[in-house]
Amino acid sequence: MIKLSKPHIDDASINSVIEVLRSGQLVHGNECASFEIEIAKYLGCKECVLVSSGTAALHIALQSLDLGTNTAIIVPDFTFPATANVVALQNFRVVNVDVNLNNYTISIDALKNVIENWRGPEKIKAIMPVHEFGCPVDMECLMNLSKEYELYVIEDAACAIGCIYNNKKIGTFGDMGCFSFHPRKTITTGEGGAIVTNDDKLADKVRRLRNHGIDYKNNKINFVEPGWNYRLTNFQAALGRRQLADLDNRIQRRSELTRYYCELLESVHKSGYIHLPELINGHSFQTFMIVLDERYSRNKVINFLKDKMIESNLGAHSLHSLQIYNNTNYCPVGGFLYRQGLALPLYEQMTKEDVQYVCNNLVECLYSDEVLSNE
Ligand SMILES: *Cc1c(COP(=O)(O)O)cnc(C)c1O
């Protein structure tokens, strides 16, 4: 079976985890401290706070802003629902905005339109752009808009570590950036995540929220506010450090494989059977998603490929298409990507022959009547 994705864990990483397990220092250790410094250095920002998942990162990043009641937050319609769930869990209103068909990230025109025509009753206080699948959002336009309307920006860079926009790493443009180290992402600690920021006060606040609301002063523990336990373990951090050291190689390899996919699928793209994403500069290639033309049933395509030992799946979700968010804005592009998007296998250890095999079978599938939709 050619899997959709495969975590990449070498023997050196495994040994580093075993070492930490033998040491007995399972939480609050040197591996965590070093991993935070190394991430901040890699991204070129001041502070990094490790947490237990990407969702935990989004949750306490949003909570740390103390936005009060009567709050609305903008998120893209096409994303993993955790982006919206953390908004709903704060009792804030989820305001979804449609995305671009060519790169799956938030449409700046649609964003402008929603902000300019907003009539409340809640006040829009922040934007959470998602660098979907590793594609950088147009951060210059987005940050200009956020300044003009005095909105906070929390970047959901959960699947985009290593992604670059205008020579600067994604996650470092907004007030805070959130990352995930789930096994589907380019580097993994099993579960895990991080918040990065250049604001010391926000970093302190996020550190407290991660650790029961504790503030250390003069070596004394003070519980200064209610907090969670969202800590990453020391052995996970050991794994993460080895993975981070290999990140740029991984992105390079993923870039080569994605470009090869696009080359092999160019003709079916040109003939209108599928739609290929634009490979924007700075992309970090976490997932490769194509879009099937409306004539196809995605489920039938997934099953066709499964019979050829190829795993594929939907790419991401569309908020307004989900029952829990069905009172949010209708977003036609997000809905279309959710229905017809098809994520294809992508991981570093894949060979070019694997990519050929996937493409040959996909093309055969697209020419077959078996996978047409009945409607
Ligand atoms: C993976 C992902 C998340 C959730 O991260 P977890 O570590 O699984 O909690 C949130 N947002 C986006 C865009 C993601 O890709």
Cβ-contact 17, 239 below 8 angstroms: yes
Hey, is 330 helix, strand or coil?
coil
Q: Is 189 near ligand 1, meaning CB less than 6 Å away?
A: no
pLDDT tens digits for range 36-69? 999 999 999 999 999 999 999 999 999 999 999 9
- Whose Cα sits closest to atom 7 in ligand 1? 54
Token output for 34: 């070093």
Hey, is 90 helix, strand or coil?
coil
Token output for 11: 């023997």
- At 217 the pLDDT is 82
Q: Is 169 near ligand 1, meaning CB less than 6 Å away?
A: no
At CB < 8 A and 24+ separation, what contacts does 146-153 make? 146/174, 149/115, 149/124, 151/74, 151/115, 151/124, 151/125, 151/126, 151/127, 152/65, 152/67, 152/125, 152/126, 152/127, 153/126, 153/127, 153/128, 153/129
Cβ-contact 97, 75 below 8 angstroms: yes
Q: Is 52 near ligand 1, meaning CB less than 6 Å away?
A: no
How many Å apart are CA 60 and CA 227, to the nearest integer? 9
In the chain, DSSP finds a helix count (H) and a strand count (E) of: 12, 16
- At 123 the pLDDT is 97
Q: Is 158 near ligand 1, meaning CB less than 6 Å away?
A: yes
Distance of CA 80 from the midpoint of ligand 1 (Å): 6
Q: Which residues pair with residue 51 across a beta bridge?
A: 193
Neighbours of 326 (CB within 10 A): 10
Cβ-contact 283, 157 below 8 angstroms: no
Q: For 52, left (φ over 0), alpha (ψ -120 to 50), or beta? A: alpha
How many Å apart are CA 171 and CA 103, to the nearest integer? 18
Neighbours of 277 (CB within 10 A): 23
- At 343 the pLDDT is 98
Place of tokens 């005095």: 150
Strands 152-156, 176-180: pairing is parallel
- At 374 the pLDDT is 81
Q: Is 180 near ligand 1, meaning CB less than 6 Å away?
A: yes
Low-confidence stretches of the chain (pLDDT < 70) are: 375
Token output for 266: 């160019």
How many Å apart are CA 2 and CA 14, to the nearest integer? 24
How many Å apart are CA 131 and CA 151, to the nearest integer? 18
Q: Is 279 exposed, middle or buried (0-12, 13-18, 19+ CB in 10 A)?
A: middle
Q: Which atom of ligand 1 is nearest to the CA of 182?
A: 7
- Tally the C-alpha atoms within 13 A of residue 351's C-alpha that lie toward its C-beta: 3
Q: By C-alpha distance, which of 341, 326, 336 is closest to 98?
A: 336
- Tally the C-alpha atoms within 13 A of residue 31's C-alpha that lie toward its C-beta: 27
- At 40 the pLDDT is 98
Token output for 250: 């991984």
Neighbours of 182 (CB within 10 A): 20
- Whose Cα sits closest to atom 1 in ligand 1? 158
Q: For 208, left (φ over 0), alpha (ψ -120 to 50), or beta? A: alpha
Q: Which atom of ligand 1 is nearest to the CA of 55?
A: 9
How many Å apart are CA 16 and CA 31, to the nearest integer? 10
DSSP conformation class of 37: H
- At 219 the pLDDT is 85
DSSP conformation class of 99: B
- At 327 the pLDDT is 94
